[in-house]
């Protein structure tokens, strides 16, 4: 029984709130709801997120604004794209992001995020530790907003996927992301296509991605030449059993163990670089 909580069902906030009450009374467990293409204004959003079992919520293609504080102990994916969300709504949403411990994917595409919203999101990313995917396509974000977001990536180690396609980001924003990429270790996907980048901005980003792998290999070489297990331990957390006694007979067993771990880490890091996707 879904109580009519469906997409394209001509639902208003009052309808949804009423149906949620019946849903609770039935003790039915709902983990996913799609309420896209209805006529929601946002008053029901707080009630939807309060569902303890709800993990995935799609309320795209409505007329939602966010005016009330939000809470959720279970939501993992939230799609708010194509609504009436503006920077002041994002401020309220970001207070939720700072406290939330479950949300992994957030889509705010085709809203008016603008500079204020981007700044608020950047601040939230400094505190949020669970968000892995942030989609901000066609969100009216300019260089100033993109710089704020890029700077947050210097400290944020949870975000893996960020899409900023179709905004008004120029070379200054691209260079800010290039700096962030040089130190960020978690991001695997960055989409800056359909912005206002010139060949200069594009080249800066590409150079930054390529330099990350070169720097890692250089660090490995220096570490190997020093042959210091403590250096390995500092870089990678601990030394572990490895192979290569016959290959490196002049090294101590501690060095050999450390080299085994470094080899493993190099393979893992190389795979990560292969997975990294940059769209321009």
Of 82, 44, 42, 100, give the one whose Cα is nearest residue 66.
42
State residue 3's pLDDT score.
75
Q: Residue 43: count other Cβ atoms within 10 Å of its Cβ.
A: 16
Sign of the dihedral through C-alpha 27, 30, 36, 41:
positive
CATH superfamily, with its number, for domain 13-212: Ribonuclease Inhibitor (3.80.10.10)
73, two tokens? 């102990």
Mean pLDDT taken over the chain: 83
Give whole-number Cα distances, 182 to 85, 176, 216, in Å: 32, 10, 11
Sign of the dihedral through C-alpha 140, 145, 150, 155:
negative
> Please, which pLDDT band fits residue 245 given cuts at 50, 70 and 90?
very low
207, two tokens? 């150079």
> Please, which pLDDT band fits residue 215 given cuts at 50, 70 and 90?
low
Residue-wise pLDDT for 63-110, tens only, equals: 999 999 999 989 999 999 999 999 999 999 999 999 999 999 999 999
Q: What pairs with residue 58 in β-bridges?
A: 34, 79
Residue-wise pLDDT for 33-61, tens only, equals: 999 999 999 999 999 999 999 999 999 99
Sorted by where each begins, the domain ranges of the chain are 13-212, 213-277
């Amino acid at each position: 029984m879904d109580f009519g909580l469906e997409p394209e069902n001509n639902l208003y906030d009052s309808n949804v709130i009423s149906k949620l009450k019946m849903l609770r009374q039935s003790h039915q467990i709902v983990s996913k709801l799609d309420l896209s293409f209805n006529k929601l204004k946002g008053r029901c959003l707080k009630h939807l997120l309060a569902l303890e079992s709800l993990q995935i919520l799609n309320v795209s293609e409505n007329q939602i604004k966010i005016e009330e504080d939000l809470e959720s102990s279970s939501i993992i994916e939230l799609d708010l794209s194509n609504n009436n969300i503006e920077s002041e709504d994002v401020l309220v949403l970001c207070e939720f992001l700072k406290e939330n411990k479950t949300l992994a994917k957030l889509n705010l595409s085709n809203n008016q995020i603008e500079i204020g919203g981007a700044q608020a999101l950047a601040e939230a990313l400094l505190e949020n530790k669970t968000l892995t995917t942030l989609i901000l396509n066609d969100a009216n974000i300019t260089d100033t907003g993109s710089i704020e977001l890029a700077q947050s990536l210097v400290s944020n180690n949870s975000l893996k996927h960020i899409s900023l396609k179709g905004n008004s980001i120029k070379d200054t924003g691209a260079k800010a992301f290039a700096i962030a990429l040089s130190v960020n270790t978690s991001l695997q996907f960055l989409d800056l296509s359909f912005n206002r980048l010139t060949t200069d901005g594009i080249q800066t980003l590409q150079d930054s991605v390529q330099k990350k792998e070169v720097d890692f290999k250089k660090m490995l070489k220096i570490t190997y030449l020093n042959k210091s297990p403590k250096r390995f331990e500092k870089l990678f957390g601990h030394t572990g059993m490895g192979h290569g006694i016959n290959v490196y007979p002049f090294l101590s067993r501690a060095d050999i163990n450390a080299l085994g771990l470094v080899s493993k880490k190099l393979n893992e890091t190389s795979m990560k670089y292969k997975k990294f996707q940059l769209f321009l």
